[in-house]
Structure 1
Amino acid sequence: MGVRGLTTYLNYNSNIFMKDYDLHNTNLVIDGHSLCAQLYRSLNCFSAFGGDYDKFAAYVKTFFKNLKKCKVTPYVIFDGSYEKRKLRTAHSRLRSKIYGASRLDPVTQGSLQIFPLLLRDVFKEVLKELTVMYTICEFEADDEIAALARYLSCPVLSYDSDFFIYNVVYIPFNTLEIKPKQIIYDEKKVFAMECRIYKVEYLTKHFGGIEKELLPLLATLLGNDFVEKKVFCKFFSQLKTPKGKKSKNEQQRCIHGLFLWLQNETLESAITKIIGRLKNHQKNKVFAIIMKSINGYNKKECKSLKYFNLSNDSIDDIIDIKMPEEMNDDDIDDQSDENRSLSSNDESDKESNSGSDIEESLPEWIAEGIRHKTIPHSFINLYTHHLHFCSPQAEDYLQDDAHYCILPIIRYAFDILTDFEQEHFVYVSREKDCNYKRIFVGKEYAVSKPIILPISQLIGSQLHAYFYHFFKEKLPQLNFEVLNLLPSNFQLFGLALLWWVSNCDVSVGQLQSLIMCFTYLDAIDEKVGSTRSYFHFNNKFSNKILELKERSVMEISDDLQMNKNKVQYDDCIVAAAILLKNFEIDETIRKKPKSYNSRRIHTFAQFQCCLYAINSLNTLCGSPFESTIYSKSYNGTFIYNMALKLEKERDPMLYLQKYLFGATSVLSFYKSLNMIICRLINELNLKFKDCSMGKKKNRRRKTDEEITFLIKEFESEVKI
C-alpha cells in the first residue's frame, strides 16, 4: 500500500537511516511485482511499440545470474487478487494509467512509465527457465514477504515504503548496484552487489528508542487503504510539527512530528490518544484497523513456506490490546499548534473502505490453484470480485478499447471459475476521453457449459475439453488437426492469430510481420545468439557475410518444413545481417515523430490481448497446448517496422523472398508457418483489411483471389 512521503523523508536522511551493505552469500526475499517494474524502468525499452519482451527477458536473466554469481538465493513472492480495500485505489490508478498511455509515443516513452501487457508473464518465464523459486499469494504479498524474510533471517528487496515499517532488513531497489564487484571477505575474493540496507533499529535509535511496535501507527495515521486520513483530522490539529526548511513540505514536517510524538508514548497510550480523538461511530472500526495493521507488520506465520519446501513451525505472537475506555479530549502531550492540520483533500483520502473485509479468505481449490499457477493471475479478480480491469497500453485512444475483442474469452473464464452460475461480471474499460467506464459483461458473450461437474472436480482430459469446446462454439470451422501441424510452441500463437483476424481489422502485412518476428526470435536467435546491435553483428561477421554472398543460393524447396533445427546457421547469419535493423526505431520515425502510426499499434495491441487471453484460458483448462513463450515470440519494435515494410507490398511473400535472398532455410521455415495459418484462415472464411484502400471490410466474406498470393506454391506436403 505504501506510506505516503516516508521514502522521501528517509532518503533525505539516508546517511542516518541506511548503511552500506555488500549483498552476497545470503537468502533474499524479493517483492516480485516491484522488482519486475523496477527492472523494466531501468532498462529504458521502447514502450511505445508494445513491448520488446526479448530484451526485457535478457535483462532479467542477467539480474538473476548476477545474484547467483554472488551466491544469493532468491525467493520471489507476487501479489494475487486485489483486496476489497484496494479497489477504489485500483480505479484511481487506472485513470492515471489510461491518461499516461494515451500520451505514449516514441518521444514521450522515455518519461512515461507504461508497462506492456505481457511484462509480468515474461518476468515469470525467466524465473521458470532459471528455476528460481516463486509463488503467488491469494491477496497482497507484503505480509508474506516480511514473514518469510524473518523466517530466513535475510533481507527483503523491494521499492515499497511499507518495508520501512515492517521489522525486516530492507534493501530499497534504487540503492542496489546490479553489476557485481569483487570484494575481500574472510580473506577471500568473492562477488557482491553493492547496496544500502535499512533496519528498524536505525530509526528507533535515532529517535531516542521509540518502541518498534509503534511504527505501524505511523502508517495508519498517514492514511492507507484501510482508512481515510481525514478521519484523524482532529488528532493532527493538535499535533505539534516542527518549523522546518522551506524545502520540506507539510507532509514531511508531519512525519517528523509523528516520530517526535511517538518517542514519549507506549503502544497502549498512543492508541488511547488516537482513538480518543475520533467520532464515536468511527472508534470500533479504526481500532480494528489499527490492530490488524500492528499484527500484520509483525506477522510470523507464512503460508508461502510450504511452496518453497520450507517447514512451517512459526506461530504469530498476537498483540492483544483492549479497546480504550472513554477518555478526556486532552491535547496530545499538552502540545497544540493551530493551523497545522494536514489537508484532508489529499489523493489518499479518495480511498474508502467499508470495514467489512478485515479478513479475506478463498476456497482451498482456488487458493491452491493460484499458488500452483494453474489459475492465471489475470483471472484471479474475476473470481474474487467478479471484476476485470483493462490494462492500458500503447494503442489508438481514438478507437475502442483493444481488450473488447477478447471479452468472450474472459466471459468464458469467468463462467468456468464460477461454475456458470453468475449473470455478469464487470469489465472496467477505458473511454476515448481517457477516463474509465464499467461494462456489465452478460450472457450475450457466454458459451454453453460442456460438462456438468464444476471445475474444482474436473480431471485433466475434462479440463482440456473445456478449451476445445470454446473454440468449437466460437470458430466452428476451425480444424485442430491442421493447427496441430504447427510446431508445438507456435500453436497457441497461431490460434491467437486466427482469433485476431476473426475479430479485428487486420492486414496481410501485419499478420506476416508477426510470423516473421516469431521466426527470428525462435529460430534465428537460437543459432546466432540474441545480439540486437546491427553494426556490432555486421562488424563481427563481416568476413563471413562477404563469403556467404559469394556462394550459390539454393532455391526454396517445395518440400516445406517446420522443424527449426533444420534452419541452417549460415542462413541465420544472412537473415540476421538484414533483419537486425528492425529491432531499432525506424529512421523515418526518428526524423518525423508524427509519422508514428497509432492505428497500426492499436491492431498489434489487440493481438497481444488475444495472445494473452488464449494462453491464460489454456492454463485455466489444464494446458492442453504448450504455452507461448512471449519473450521468444514478440518484439513490438521489430513487428512495427516489418509491418511498415510489408503493408506497402501487394505481395508480401514475394517481397520477403527478395529481402531475405540467400537465407533459404529461414524462408522455408517462415513459409511453412505462414502456409498453415493461411490455410486455416481460408477454411474459416476470414477476410483481411485492404491497406491500400484504408477501409474496413466486412469479415466472414472471402474470395479466392484475396488469399491466392498468400498460399501460392504452398500446396505441397509439409514436413515437420
Structure 2
Amino acid sequence: MGIRGLTTFIQNRSHLYLENYELHDTNLVVDGNSIACQLYKWHTSTHDCFGGDYDKFSKTVNDFYDLLAQCNITPHVIFDGGYEKRKVNTVISRMKNKIKSSNLLNSVTETSISVFPLFIRIVFEDVTRERKVNKVRCDFEGDTDIANIASALNCPVLSFDSDYFIFDTLYIPFSTFDMTIKRGKTANKNVYKYICCKIYKVENFLKSFEGLQKTSLPILAVLLGNDYVKRGVFTMFYKNLKIQKCHGNQSDQQKRIKSLLIWLQNETIESALQKVLSRYKKTKRTIILYKIEKAIKGYNCFNSKYMKYLGIDLNIKNKVKIEIDLDKVNNSIEIDDEDEEIPYEEDSSSEEEIFITPNEPDLNLPMEFLQNFRTCIYPPCFMDILVYNQYYCIPQVENNTSNHSHNISFDILSAIYKILTGKTNSLICICRITAYQVGKVKIPPCEVNLPKYEEIKTLNKENKYEYFENVLKIDKNYKKCLNNFPESWHLLLITINYYLNKSNTNWCIVYSIILSKLILSYVDEKIGFFYRSSKIFLKKHSQSRITSKLTYHKPDNVKSALEYINKDDCVNCLKKLIYYFEMDDKMIRNPKIFDRALVHSISEFQSCLLHVDYLNTLLGFPLRSISIAECLNCTFVYNFTKNLNKRSNLDEYVELLLKDSPSILDSFCLIINKVKEFTITEVAMQPMGRKRRKKKTVKEICEEMEHLNIESDNEVELDPNNKFTLLRIC
C-alpha cells in the first residue's frame, strides 16, 4: 500500500527508530516485488533507455542470493498477485507517471530518470526458481501475508515499503541493507559471516511517543491516506488538528505525521475514530467507518493461508488482534445532520471513487488454477484477466506518436483471455491511448478454436502445440525449422517469426537478437559474465589475436555448430563485440542521437516475447520456457542494430566482423539462414540493407507537393529553379 512521507519521517530520526543489526543464521521473508525493483535500481548498472539488460540484472539477483547463502540466511520470497479493486486508481496513476518518465527518458536523462524494464520481475522469479528458493505468489497484494509469515517465523521482513513501519513485525528497510559480507566473532571466538543493516522495531517507535498504543498505528496510516481511504477525505479533521513544528525545513506532510502521532498519544482507537467521524454527517459516516475498518484489519496478524506453500507449519503467538467496537464508536458520536460539512480536498478522485464500497472478488476459481498461480507458474496478470476481465499493459520506452508497444500482442492476449475465461466477449486493456493518456481499449474476440481451461490438462504435448501454432499463425513448415535447433531456441524463434509478421521492421534487429542470444547463452558460458566491461575484458585479453589450437571441422547443422563453439573463438568474438554492451560516449552528451523509433521496435519485440511466453505457460508448456537473462541485452541489440542499419550487405559485414571466431560465425550463419528459409513474410524478405534514395530535383518536389495538396509558406514562392525555395521546403 505505502504511506506517503512515513519512510522519510523514520529516516530523519533513524537514530531513534532503527538499530544496527547483524543479519545471519536466520530466516528472512523477502518482499519479492519490492526487492526486485530495489536490486535493479540500486545494484544493476544498466541502460533503461534501451529497454533493459537482463543478463546484468540476473547476475545481480544471483549475487543477492549468494550473499544470503554465505551468511546462512534462508529466504522465503513472497510475490504480489493481481490488483485489487481498491488499487486501480493507484495503478493507473503509476502508469501515467511511468509513461511520462518513458517519454522523457533518453541517453542523456537516464542518469536522473528510471523506467523499470518489462522483464525485471520475471527475471527475479526465474533466478529464484533456478536456485530452488522458497516462494509463493499471493492471490492479490501480499503486504499483510508477508508480515504474518515473518511473525510466524519470528524473523525480519526485507522490503522497502512504509507499511511495515505499522505492522507489528521486525523490518529491514532495503536502503539500509549492505550488499557486502562482514565477519564477526562469537564469544567462543568462532568466525561467522553477516550482512550489516538496520532493523526497525515498533517498540522503539512507541517509546518516542509516550502513551501511543500499538493498536492505534493503523489509524495513523489511514489518516495519512492509503488505498482504502484518500487523505483528502479528512480535510475537516485536519483543519481542527494542532499542527506541530518540525526541526529544519520539513514539508507539510512531515509536520502532519508528527502532529498525528502527538494527537494519538492521548487517544484509544475508538476515541480517535469518534473524533474523526464526528466531522461527518450520518449519510457518509457509515461508509467511511466501513472503509477505515477494512484498512485497519489489513494490519492484523493471523495465520496466512500461504504458509503451506512455503512448508511452514507454525502459529502466530502473542500478537494483538486489532478490533473495533463499531457500535460503541457509532453510538458515542453526536452531530447534527444539518451542520455544515467542509468538503474533502487534495484529491483528484471523484466522490464516487472515494466513497465507493470495496468490491472484493469472490474467488470461486479452479483449484488447479490457484495451485499454479500460488506456486508462481502463472503470472500475476492471469488473476486480473480471470477475475476482472482486464489487463494492464506495462508501459515501456516507446515512440509516443505510434501505437503503444503492446498493440502488437493483442491477438495473443485475446487468445489467453478466451482460454482462461471461456468467454467470447472482449478483453479490456488498460494502456496508453495517446502520447500521455491512459485509457481502456477493447480487444476483438479471438476467433481461433481453443480449448477451455479445464481441458488443457487432458491434452498431450502435440495437441497443445497445435493450439499454440494456430494462435500465432505459424506456418506448418516452420516446425521443420525448429527441429534444427536445441529446445532452448524454439520459443525465441517462434517469437521472431510472429514479430516479423506483425511489425514494420527489417532483418537488422533480428540479426542483433540472434547474436545477443549466442553471446549470452554460449560465449558467457565459456568465458564468464565478468567480462561484460570492455576495460576489464581487454585488460585480461589485451594480447594479440588468439588462434584456436583445436582442429575445427565446419558443421553442417545448427546443433552441431553450437556444440563446436570454443573458448578461444569466444574471446575473439567479444574482442569485436564487447563495445556494443556499452553506451557510446557521444550519446551520453547528445540526446538527438538517441533513436527512439529503434527502441520502440525493441519494445515491440519484448512485448511479443512476453505474451508468447504467457501463452506457452497457459497451454501447459508445449515448448520449453525461455530464460530472458540468456537471451536479451537491449543495449547490445540497440547498438548492433544501429551499426547494421548502415551496412548494404549484412552477411558480408558479419563474416568480416567474426572471421577470427569461425565456430561462432558458422553457428550464426546456419541459424540466420534457417530462419530466412522458413520465414515467409513480406516484411522479413525485404532487402536488408539501407536503400539509397535518389535525390529529388526541386521540380519533382514541387510536383509532389501539388499532388498531395500541401500548402507552402505564403511568403515563399514555389520556383523550381530557386534553390532557396528547396531549402525552405526541406
Alignment-derived partner of residue 715 in structure 1: none
Q: Is the 8 A contact 1:306 1:312 kept in 2?
A: no
Q: Is the 8 A contact 1:463 1:621 kept in 2?
A: no
Say which of 237, 251, 256 aligns to 1:249. Answer: 251
Q: Is the 8 A contact 1:477 1:683 kept in 2?
A: no
Q: Is the 8 A contact 2:167 2:299 kept in 1?
A: yes
* Equivalent runs, 1:30-45 vs 2, <5 Å: 30-42=30-42, 43-45=44-46
Say which of 545, 549, 572 aligns to 1:574. Answer: 572
Provide the secondary structure at the position in 2 that maps to 1:301.
coil
Q: Residue 7 in 1 paired to residue 7 in 2?
A: yes
Alignment-derived partner of residue 190 in structure 2: 188
Alignment-derived partner of residue 377 in structure 1: 380
Alignment-derived partner of residue 219 in structure 2: 217
Q: Residue 273 in 1 paired to residue 275 in 2?
A: yes
Q: Residue 597 in 1 paired to residue 595 in 2?
A: yes
Q: Is the 8 A contact 2:152 2:314 kept in 1?
A: no
Alignment-derived partner of residue 330 in structure 2: 325
Aligned residue identity for 1:508: W
**Deviations, residues 91-142 of structure 1 (Å, cap 9, x unaligned):** 1111111010011111111211201111111111111122211111110000
* Equivalent runs, 1:622-641 vs 2, <5 Å: 622-641=620-639
Alignment-derived partner of residue 563 in structure 2: 565
Alignment-derived partner of residue 158 in structure 2: 157
Q: Residue 357 in 1 paired to residue 359 in 2?
A: yes
**Residue 432 of structure 1: CA displacement?**
3.8
Q: How many positions carry a matched residue from both structures?
A: 679
Aligned residue identity for 1:578: K
**Residue 563 of structure 1: CA displacement?**
5.4
Q: Residue 392 in 1 paired to residue 382 in 2?
A: no
Q: Residue 126 in 1 paired to residue 124 in 2?
A: no
Provide the secondary structure at the position in 2 that maps to 1:235.
helix
Distance 2:311 2:609 in 1: 33
Question: Which has the larger displacement, 282-291 or 98-107?
Answer: 282-291
Q: Is the 8 A contact 1:24 1:191 kept in 2?
A: yes
Q: Residue 46 in 1 paired to residue 50 in 2?
A: no
Alignment-derived partner of residue 68 in structure 2: 67
Aligned residue identity for 1:526: E
Q: Is the 8 A contact 1:466 1:621 kept in 2?
A: yes
Provide the secondary structure at the position in 1 that maps to 2:298.
helix
Distance 2:30 2:414 in 1: 33
Provide the secondary structure at the position in 2 that maps to 1:191.
strand
Aligned residue identity for 1:439: V
| Identical positions, percent | 30
**Deviations, residues 224-270 of structure 1 (Å, cap 9, x unaligned):** 11122232222222222223446122221221111111111122222
* Equivalent runs, 1:100-139 vs 2, <5 Å: 100-139=101-140
Provide the secondary structure at the position in 1 that maps to 2:241.
coil
Aligned residue identity for 2:56: K
Distance 1:511 1:274 in 2: 61
Q: Is the 8 A contact 1:25 1:70 kept in 2?
A: yes
Provide the secondary structure at the position in 2 that maps to 1:243.
coil
Alignment-derived partner of residue 673 in structure 2: 675
Distance 2:19 2:409 in 1: 49
**Residue 431 of structure 1: CA displacement?**
3.2
Provide the secondary structure at the position in 2 that maps to 1:287.
helix
Aligned residue identity for 2:503: C
Aligned residue identity for 2:346: N
Any unmatched runs of 5+ in structure 1? 331-340, 696-720
Aligned residue identity for 2:420: L
**Residue 289 of structure 1: CA displacement?**
2.5
Cα distance 1:582–1:362, how it changes in 2: closer, same or farther (>3 A)? Answer: farther
Alignment-derived partner of residue 310 in structure 2: 308
Distance 1:161 1:348 in 2: 23
Distance 2:54 2:238 in 1: 47
Distance 2:129 2:539 in 1: 34
Say which of 400, 404, 407 aligns to 1:401. Answer: 404
Alignment-derived partner of residue 698 in structure 1: none
**Residue 328 of structure 1: CA displacement?**
5.1
Distance 2:620 2:334 in 1: 61
**Residue 425 of structure 1: CA displacement?**
1.6
**Deviations, residues 562-601 of structure 1 (Å, cap 9, x unaligned):** 5533211211111122211111113442454311111111
Aligned residue identity for 2:210: G
Any unmatched runs of 5+ in structure 2? 336-341, 694-730
Alignment-derived partner of residue 85 in structure 1: 86
Provide the secondary structure at the position in 2 that maps to 1:548.
coil
Q: Residue 234 in 1 paired to residue 254 in 2?
A: no
Alignment-derived partner of residue 416 in structure 1: 419
Aligned residue identity for 1:495: I
Distance 1:353 1:45 in 2: 43
Question: Which has the larger displacement, 508-517 or 385-394?
Answer: 385-394
Provide the secondary structure at the position in 2 that maps to 1:177.
coil
Cα distance 1:245–1:313, how it changes in 2: closer, same or farther (>3 A)? Answer: closer
Alignment-derived partner of residue 482 in structure 1: 481
Distance 2:570 2:662 in 1: 9
Distance 1:179 1:644 in 2: 38
Question: Which has the larger displacement, 164-173 or 421-430?
Answer: 421-430
Q: What RMSD over aligned residues (CA atoms) do the two structures have, in Å?
A: 2.6
Cα distance 1:658–1:555, how it changes in 2: closer, same or farther (>3 A)? Answer: farther
Q: Is the 8 A contact 1:561 1:672 kept in 2?
A: no
Distance 1:384 1:142 in 2: 20
Alignment-derived partner of residue 609 in structure 1: 607
Cα distance 1:562–1:227, how it changes in 2: closer, same or farther (>3 A)? Answer: farther
Cα distance 1:559–1:134, how it changes in 2: closer, same or farther (>3 A)? Answer: closer
Distance 1:464 1:520 in 2: 31
Say which of 257, 261, 264 aligns to 1:262. Answer: 264
Distance 1:80 1:665 in 2: 44
Alignment-derived partner of residue 344 in structure 1: 345
* Equivalent runs, 1:642-653 vs 2, <5 Å: 642-653=640-651
**Deviations, residues 61-116 of structure 1 (Å, cap 9, x unaligned):** 11110111111111111111100011111111111110100111111112112011
Distance 1:667 1:199 in 2: 58
Cα distance 1:256–1:689, how it changes in 2: closer, same or farther (>3 A)? Answer: farther
Alignment-derived partner of residue 517 in structure 1: 516
Say which of 436, 439, 442 aligns to 2:441. Answer: 439
Distance 1:373 1:302 in 2: 17
Distance 1:422 1:216 in 2: 44
Aligned residue identity for 2:377: T
Provide the secondary structure at the position in 1 that maps to 2:270.
helix
Distance 1:473 1:287 in 2: 49
Q: Is the 8 A contact 2:98 2:395 kept in 1?
A: yes
Aligned residue identity for 2:490: Q
Cα distance 1:329–1:11, how it changes in 2: closer, same or farther (>3 A)? Answer: farther
Question: Which has the larger displacement, 423-432 or 189-198?
Answer: 423-432
* Equivalent runs, 1:492-531 vs 2, <5 Å: 492-530=491-529, 531=531
Cα distance 1:361–1:547, how it changes in 2: closer, same or farther (>3 A)? Answer: closer
